[in-house]
Structure formats: C-alpha cells, structure tokens
Amino acid sequence: MLTALRSAFLLPELRKKILFTLGILLLYRVLAQIPVPGVDREAMGQILQNDLASLFDMLSGGALSRFSIMAMGVYPYITASIIMQLLVPIIPQLEKIAKEEGDAGRQKINQYTTYLTIPLALLQGYGTAALMSGGAFGSSLLPRFGFGKDPLLTIGVLASLLTGSFIALWLGNIITEDGIGNGVSLIIFGGIVSRMWPRLNALLASTNGVFLTLVFTLVTIGTVFLIVYVQEGQRRIPVRYGKRVRTMRGNRLMMVGGQSSYVPIRVNSAGMIPLIFASTLLIFPSTIASAFINSPIPWLQSIAQFLSVNFSIGSTAYWIAYFILVVAFTFFYTAVIFQQQNIPESLQRQGGYIPGIRPGKRTEEYLNKVVNRITLVGALFLGFVAILPWLVSLLLRQPSLSNSALLITSAGLLIVVGVVLDTMKQLEAQLLMRHYEGFIK
C-alpha cells in the first residue's frame, strides 16, 4: 500500500487529485467552525451528552457540536436518497424512469433527490434548532429561536442551515468529479475521524485510562478487520449468455459458444443504513420523553421516566432492541435494493441464465432464496457490530462505557471502512491504468 501511495504521489495528475481532495476536506472543516446567528457559545460544550445529538454530529462531520452553518452536513441529502430508493419500487412512474431510461433516468432520479433535499433540510433544520432552543439536547443554544420570538433570526438560522447543507453537497460533488473517492462519503468520513480524538482523550482521563484505551484500541482494530472481511465477502452465482454447442475439433469433442460470467451478491448489501435507522428509531423515544420528564401530570411523568430509563444508551433493553431492529432493517433494506436491481428480468432480457435454473420465475425464486440466506449472515454481523460496545462494557463490568467502547461508533466504523475501501479501489484503478502495481495482488 505504501509503495502504491508513493507511486501515486509521483504522478502529477494523481498527486493533484489527492491534494485537491485533502484541500476540500480542510475547507469543509474550516466552514464547520462558523456558527449560525444567535448561538449561545457558552452552552455548546454540553450538547454531545445527548445520544441523538451525538448521532447527528457524526453524520454532519462534527459540525453539530458547534451548531455551525454546516450542522446538518449532507444528512438531508442522504435522507432524500434513502426515501427515493424506497419510493422507486412503489411509484410506477419512478420505476419506469429508473429502469427504461438508463443514464438519463438516473440523472432524473438524482435531480428529484436534490429537489427533495430542500424541504427535508428546512424541516430538519427547524426541528434541530427547535430542540436546541428548548434545551432537549442538554442546553439551550438558541434561546431566541422561533417565529414567535424573533422571526428574522429564525429565518436567518434556517437560511444558514439550508445553505450550509447545499455547500456540503456541492463540495462533495466537487471531490467526486475532480478528486479521489466519493465526496459525500469522504466528508462524513472526515467528521467521524475527527471525533476519535475527543473519545481517546476522555478514555485516557478516566480511571484506568491507559488500560481501557489499550483494550478499546485493540477491540476497534479487531472490529475493523472483521468489517473488512465481511464487507468484501460475496456469493458469486455463475451466469451463462447465449447457447453452447458441441463440436468436434480434431479428435476432441468440445463445447463452444456462449459467454460465462457471475452475479455477485454481497454478504452486507445494506451497509450502515440499518444502523442509522435503528439508532434514530430508538433514540427518539428518550429524546421526546425528556421534554415531559417534569410534567405535572403523574401518568405522563411516569411514562416519560420509563422511556428515559429503558431507551437510553446503557440499558439492557436498549441494546437488545437495537440488535433486533438492526437485523430487521437489514432484511428490509436489502430486499428493497435487490428488488430495484431486478436481476432475473435483466438476465432474461440479455439472454443469460443460471445453469440448472429455468429463466424467469424459477430464477427469481432461486436468487431470493440465496439473498435471504446471505442476508441472514450479514444481518447477524451488523447486529453484532452494533451491540459490540455493550458486550465489551459487560466483559469489563463497566456499563457506563458502553457508548465509548469503540474509539469510533459502530455506524462510524462501517462508514470509515467502506470509504477507505472504495477510495483505495479508485486509486488502484488509476494506478493500474498507468501500469503500476495496485493495492490488491
């Protein structure tokens, strides 16, 4: 790897792309330091004590902790992309555009995704700012936010957040076009890695800090190797195109004609999306309950206290529910993505078939059976990675460290590993085009 990186820097074109990518990431980190109007700077330090705020801060690239103009990052666009992926198989017109119009159809879907990002960014920006104003994240960062309090400030905050979100998306697209790697993923990657140092400092400052840091570092490294192994795992289903006929060549009977290929089915096709779904769904009950924890109504206060205790990170019920939801969402999201690919119909249209399996309905049933079996392994793997911090904290008999048992969160590790692998493959492709030895031998 080091040899390939040195070879990449020796090439002026690749060196320019790598430095350009690093420069854009540095620019994003600079913009992430600019707060929105009306922020109470003294209250910023308390925000990441909330679980939902910590999740959003990871996806915003560390900008939410300062509530900067980049606080939402590319998260509204990611949400819009996920919604569009779920809507395509449901709405016939969208499905027709995606399947029949090729690259032009994909560009239209991307355009619709960008349009959908605008209302989602405004909605998320208003909701996040309202939570900041009400102190739901542990402190009131925007005491004057709200159309009933200060309309001009409220409009300025929403405009700043919307602009910052599209600047982040624009910077990501620039990296994708002129740099190395997927720009949107690299922006999230930079924010996740930047959050690693505060976690490391917090561990070192705790009791038995050196021992805990060593243990958690080893756990993180081991988890990374496990993620790489599973992420690269796939089942290759052989496919043949055209007809093969028997013919005599000299004194030998040979099969000629047709082409052979394979359909790769990944063990983890869903990536880190199920972790985000499950985390968001589990964190919202405790976040909403925090607003009613001091309610004068006894039964409402009791329900709020129950939700706060059982749906907060550290409780056994939270981690069990987390594992179940991650497994369920993995099956759901994989099924949606596989249905959109429509592999059986594509094979039949291109004259391909799986040896021993009839084209059409039988091929679809066979592929669904294989996908379900492979997804079971991937779902259990994601569930294990999700609850690994809790398992480590139980082994060490320190439940309070369940949220920091990994130097990077579970979803963060999946993102980091995926981005690094994708960037390495793109850099390898650039090197192979110039007859250099790549990363993978």
Sequence spans of domains, the chain: 13-195, 206-407
Phi and psi of 378, rounded to 5°?
-65, -40
Spatial distance between the Cα atoms of 160 and 36, rounded to a whole number of angstroms: 6
Burial 132-158 (b: 16+ CB within 10 A, else e): bbebbbbbbbbbebbeeebeebbeebb
- Residue found under tokens 């005491």: 143
Spatial distance between the Cα atoms of 82 and 75, rounded to a whole number of angstroms: 11
333: which 2 tokens? Answer: 């999201």
Spatial distance between the Cα atoms of 336 and 107, rounded to a whole number of angstroms: 20
Spatial distance between the Cα atoms of 239 and 160, rounded to a whole number of angstroms: 52
**How much is the pLDDT for 286?**
67
Spatial distance between the Cα atoms of 237 and 264, rounded to a whole number of angstroms: 6
* Average pLDDT per block of 10 residues along the chain, 441 residues long: 68 84 88 78 56 58 70 82 80 79 79 89 81 59 76 88 90 87 80 72 71 78 82 83 56 56 82 76 69 73 76 75 89 82 78 80 86 89 83 70 55 77 78 59 47
Structural contact between residues 25 and 190, judged by C-beta atoms closer than 8 angstroms: yes
Phi and psi of 206, rounded to 5°?
-80, 175
Neighbouring C-alpha atoms within 13 Å toward the C-beta of 59: 21
The matching CATH number, chosen from 1.10.3370.10, 1.10.260.40, 3.40.50.1100, 1.10.10.1100, for 13-195 is 1.10.3370.10
**How much is the pLDDT for 135?**
53
Helix/strand/coil for 274: helix
**How much is the pLDDT for 418?**
78
Structural contact between residues 350 and 366, judged by C-beta atoms closer than 8 angstroms: no
Structural contact between residues 72 and 125, judged by C-beta atoms closer than 8 angstroms: yes
Helices 209-231 & 196-205, crossing angle to 10 degrees? Answer: 150
**How much is the pLDDT for 435?**
60
Structural contact between residues 176 and 184, judged by C-beta atoms closer than 8 angstroms: yes
Spatial distance between the Cα atoms of 402 and 422, rounded to a whole number of angstroms: 29
**How much is the pLDDT for 401?**
55
Same fold, 13-195 and 206-407: yes
CATH class of 206-407: mainly alpha
Burial 92-115 (b: 16+ CB within 10 A, else e): eebbebbeeeeeebeeebeebbee
**How much is the pLDDT for 440?**
47
